[in-house]
Structure 1
């Protein structure tokens, strides 16, 4: 597909496969590697829906997710590995905590154990960060967000860097004959393209999570303006973040593009802009938070994020409402925090 080739080129990968949603991309990116009895490591600072997928749904399939804090030491993360751990997962810009992942560090840790690093690059997009250049092996996106930019289609994509060695002995499903596909060995037949072609020939065949042609057409329209839009999102968000930072009604502002933000150093290393997403804690608790939401004139109160409209969302009662109080704290997702999405 033309749009797959375009996204692969944007990310610096050798191939891509579009899916019917971002969650489908997350799921297939892991199922292409893992089987019953395996485990993988994920940072705890990820999207709430992905937490549910990893902690509950995959668990029912016999796959364990081991959560680690993105800011934990190398020693702590390495200690979390088990003999059956087959991958490491993280988000470039975490949703909604906006933690910036130290991609190089996690890539070195994953590779020291002979497993790939999978990065969700949805909020950054390849315009702001290309994780493959920092050691990521697989990159995924919810294309429903910035890549589309207009909330016209729901989709996802998996991009293969082509850099990981699937013949290192940890991944027999890539090297041994696939009985479901004429006994083919993916590494012998396709070399560096083994991962993405196995995903297409095996998983897409079985799960059928492929987007419609019209969805791909709409996604391509969004990609044509992505570079222009991301630049403007970042400029607008920084101005709004600075305004909130100086407001007496705001308890705290999280935006990696702000000097003094805890993620500012990593943002300077990895990002060419901190996206259009801002997390704000409003003084006065839930009552004032609701008042703030109800008083907005131009912004839309919606669950969808990252398009051309200015939107607000309370993650703890919307996208992350299924999480426990303990998980919300772990995700830095305060109950009265808001994500603000700035108009381009």
Structure 2
């Protein structure tokens, strides 16, 4: 879509199609497993990859294509692919880059569900992971890159404590080493941060969160920025340069700058099958249409909540990026329009105080999710981080009294009143 059109316009129109049969203005739900071939030769051409026409909905549904293209457009990327969940997005994104024996660098501040997958399922596939401190210097990252390193992985805003990765620095590391930077941009969304502008090669999302916005669907997205030089990195990524079956050219030869997205869609997603339902894509599209409006309100409400609970006698610390945590400079540089809507608080009374606080809430919902229009809260130490030993939790900054709050779109005064009355209940 035209780059001269603003974000609010593109979130409504980018990638849209008008149904040829009925002329529907809203992207229809194409609830179909497959598509009729025009004849024998047409089927052969589609399966050989020589036809642009789709063959099967496992990796190529028209409703999903519109949603993926819209997310790619908002991120400033060249192509996108939808998958079944945010976890599937991480797994598929890395599977398209690395294989058994390969090495992936990450920051030490990742969502615990991602860390669990790194320690478990992904490690069992033979991938080797190494975590560097999120504030490590550029030269330390460069020195950690090995010949077998296939990706550098970071979250733009870490969940749940809000540490902000220096994407510009990591982008320079990527440029110096020829290793693609993969960024999970879920918490920031493309409205607040666009990692491609800082040197990322691939951006992923859990579309279940702010992109959908209403807690109604599970999904994930992977976006190819279209700027990484896959030809220069041919030795690291032979899968993009090897000739394809049936005499078809390699992905790099055929698709050029978007070779990664083509390989992801045509091989990884097709073979692993983490399909995204068309009905979910339909709901996702409706969520994206109001993303900018919602994020402005999310950020305003989060700032109000952070200010309101700071200084309460039950609260020892408030975690919100750039709010007295020493990250003011990087937040101003990378997140000038706001740092998302997760506010985490440390309660002085530890786990017992967290229990009393959460059970006292009336408006705020106690559940595991973020990015909803509703304000949600959870004690991460007994849930998301519950499988860790106490010392492991403390090393990650997860104190016994830590409560994560995903601030929604309700009237800010109502949310604050509910939080304060619950906090009052835990003060001796």
- TM-score class, shorter: over 0.9
1:133 aligns with 2:197: yes
TM (norm. structure 2) is 0.78
Asked if the contact 2:315–2:348 (Cα under 8 Å) also holds between the matched residues in 1, the reply is yes
User: Which residue does the alignment assign to 2:296?
Assistant: 231
Q: Deviations for 1:190-215, whole angstroms, at most 9, x for unmatched residues?
A: 10110101000001110111211100
User: Which residue does the alignment assign to 1:308?
Assistant: 373
The residue matched to 2:105 in structure 1 has which SS?
strand
Deviation at 1:291, TM superposition (A): 0.7
Matches within 5 A, 1:242-321: 242-258=307-323, 260-271=324-335, 272-321=337-386
TM (norm. structure 1) is 0.96
| From 323, 339, 343, the counterpart of 2:388 | 323
Measure, in 2, the Cα distance between the counterparts of 1:330 and 1:195.
36
Deviation at 1:343, TM superposition (A): 2.2
Asked if the contact 1:97–1:331 (Cα under 8 Å) also holds between the matched residues in 2, the reply is no
User: Which residue does the alignment assign to 2:263?
Assistant: 198
Measure, in 2, the Cα distance between the counterparts of 1:321 and 1:83.
36
Higher relative contact order (CA 8 A, sep 6+): 1
Asked if the contact 2:68–2:80 (Cα under 8 Å) also holds between the matched residues in 1, the reply is yes
| From 168, 173, 178, the counterpart of 2:239 | 173
| From 67, 82, 94, the counterpart of 2:146 | 82
Runs of 4+ in structure 1 over 3 Å off: 181-184, 323-327
Measure, in 1, the Cα distance between the counterparts of 2:395 and 2:195.
24
Asked if the contact 1:42–1:88 (Cα under 8 Å) also holds between the matched residues in 2, the reply is yes
Structure 1 unaligned runs (5+)? none
Measure, in 1, the Cα distance between the counterparts of 2:128 and 2:243.
26
Relative to structure 1, is the Cα distance of residues 68 and 329 closer, same or farther in structure 2, using a 3 angstrom cutoff?
farther
Asked if the contact 2:371–2:408 (Cα under 8 Å) also holds between the matched residues in 1, the reply is no
User: Which residue does the alignment assign to 1:47?
Assistant: 111
Q: What is the RMSD of the two structures over their aligned residues, measured on CA atoms?
A: 1.4
Deviation at 1:183, TM superposition (A): 5.1
The residue matched to 1:153 in structure 2 has which SS?
coil
1:28 aligns with 2:92: yes
Q: Deviations for 1:278-306, whole angstroms, at most 9, x for unmatched residues?
A: 01001111111111111111100001111
Aligned length: 342
Measure, in 2, the Cα distance between the counterparts of 1:182 and 1:278.
54
The residue matched to 1:119 in structure 2 has which SS?
strand
| From 147, 155, 162, the counterpart of 2:219 | 155
Measure, in 1, the Cα distance between the counterparts of 2:174 and 2:153.
9
Structure 2 unaligned runs (5+)? 1-64, 410-428
